[in-house]
């Protein structure tokens, strides 16, 4: 089946006094783009989270939001720079002696000195919590993929209906082909007669052959045939499923190419009207294709 690039998945975890939520959101993007919003304590898992996500998603911008709360996530430890305290004390004694200062060096004074005390934190993620967390991320991704697949099914249904509409328009264009060629031929003859001020008769075989050749340049048979071929290729890609967004996008570009060529050859108001309808339908198809992975 085909998949949409839009989806959302969520999962929660609880381990001892620690609670966490994982939310993953994906939207359209030409390539795979990963953007984690995670606590500092989980930065060591960032690359692994990216690999886990990339194993499920090929295209799309993916945001992953992680929130953790509870006691026991980190351990704080107070450290004293004793060498720095010693240097402070020595320099204070030197100043006291040099400038005949009074007073004693007290603990209160030392406690106020810069950089004497520092607090370090260490993360308490053990193997069990890390494994549980990875499992929750995979479950959130599975929820997201379920949503992408459901939306992909809806996109496929809509695109199939639009292809049927497009096929109907192409059939009307094809039915108009002979009339357009005949009308184009008559216009060329009329222009020649207006220019030469003489009617073209059946004896003017060379002129008539040239008129026929010029009229053939206005024939849209090849373009119509290629559009039918592109419609078939589009159907095949939809039914094949998987990562097919780029393929469908390429076929849409080919649709545009053939329809524009038909439009440039058209001197018929009815045919021009059908060209406008085809372009309108292709634009709608293009918008939907941009949602497909």
What number is the average pLDDT over the span 78-90? 86
Which residues have CB under 8 Å from 103's CB, separation 6+? 96
How wide is the angle at C-alpha 16 spanned by C-alphas 14 and 18, nearest 5°?
A: 55
27-80: pLDDT as tens digits: 999 999 999 998 877 888 899 999 999 999 999 999 999 988 866 556 566 788
Structural Rg of the chain based on CA atoms: 37
Element of type H or E holding 31: none
Pairing of strands 60-69, 32-37: parallel
241-292: pLDDT as tens digits: 889 999 999 999 999 999 999 888 777 788 889 999 999 999 999 999 999 9
Which residues have CB under 8 Å from 220's CB, separation 6+? 173, 177, 180, 261, 262, 265, 266, 271
Say if residues 289 and 249 touch (Cβ distance below 8 Å).
yes
- Bigger pLDDT: 146 vs 109: 146
- Residue 61 has a CB neighbour count (10 Å cut-off) of 17
- Bigger pLDDT: 18 vs 5: 5
175-210: pLDDT as tens digits: 887 776 666 666 666 666 666 666 666 555 555 555
Pairing of strands 7-15, 32-37: unpaired
pLDDT at 17: 77
pLDDT at 72: 54
pLDDT at 10: 96
> d(Cα 63, Cα 56) in Å, to the nearest integer?
14
Instruction: Choose from 13-22, 33-42, 126-135 the range with maximum mean pLDDT.
Output: 33-42
> d(Cα 175, Cα 118) in Å, to the nearest integer?
85
Is pLDDT at 147 greater than 70 in this prediction? yes
């Amino acid at each position: 089946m085909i998949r949409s690039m839009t989806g959302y998945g969520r999962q929660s975890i609880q381990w001892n006094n620690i609670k966490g939520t994982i939310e993953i959101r994906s939207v359209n993007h030409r390539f795979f783009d990963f953007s984690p919003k995670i606590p500092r304590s989980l930065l060591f898992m960032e690359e692994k989270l990216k690999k886990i996500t990339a194993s499920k998603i090929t295209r799309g911008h993916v945001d992953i939001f992680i929130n953790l709360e509870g006691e026991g996530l980190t351990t704080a430890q107070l450290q004293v720079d004793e060498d720095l305290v010693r240097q402070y004390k020595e320099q204070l004694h030197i100043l006291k002696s040099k400038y005949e200062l009074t007073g004693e060096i007290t603990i209160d004074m030392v406690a106020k000195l810069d950089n004497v005390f520092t607090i370090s934190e260490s993360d308490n993620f053990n193997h069990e919590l890390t494994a549980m967390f990875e499992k929750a991320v995979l479950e959130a991704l599975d929820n997201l993929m379920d949503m992408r697949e459901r939306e992909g099914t809806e996109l496929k249904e809509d695109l199939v209906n639009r292809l049927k509409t497009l096929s109907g328009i192409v059939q009307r264009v094809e039915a108009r082909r002979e009339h357009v060629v005949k009308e184009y031929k008559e216009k060329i003859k009329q222009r020649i007669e207006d220019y030469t001020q003489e009617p073209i008769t059946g004896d003017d075989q060379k002129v008539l052959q040239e008129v026929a050749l010029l009229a053939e340049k206005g024939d849209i048979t090849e373009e119509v045939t290629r559009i039918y071929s592109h419609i078939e290729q589009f159907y095949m890609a939809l039914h094949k499923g998987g990562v097919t967004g780029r393929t469908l996008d390429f076929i849409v570009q080919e649709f545009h190419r053939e329809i524009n060529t038909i439009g440039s050859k058209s001197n018929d108001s009815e045919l021009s009207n059908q060209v406008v309808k085809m372009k309108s339908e292709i634009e709608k198809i293009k918008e939907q294709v941009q949602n497909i992975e």
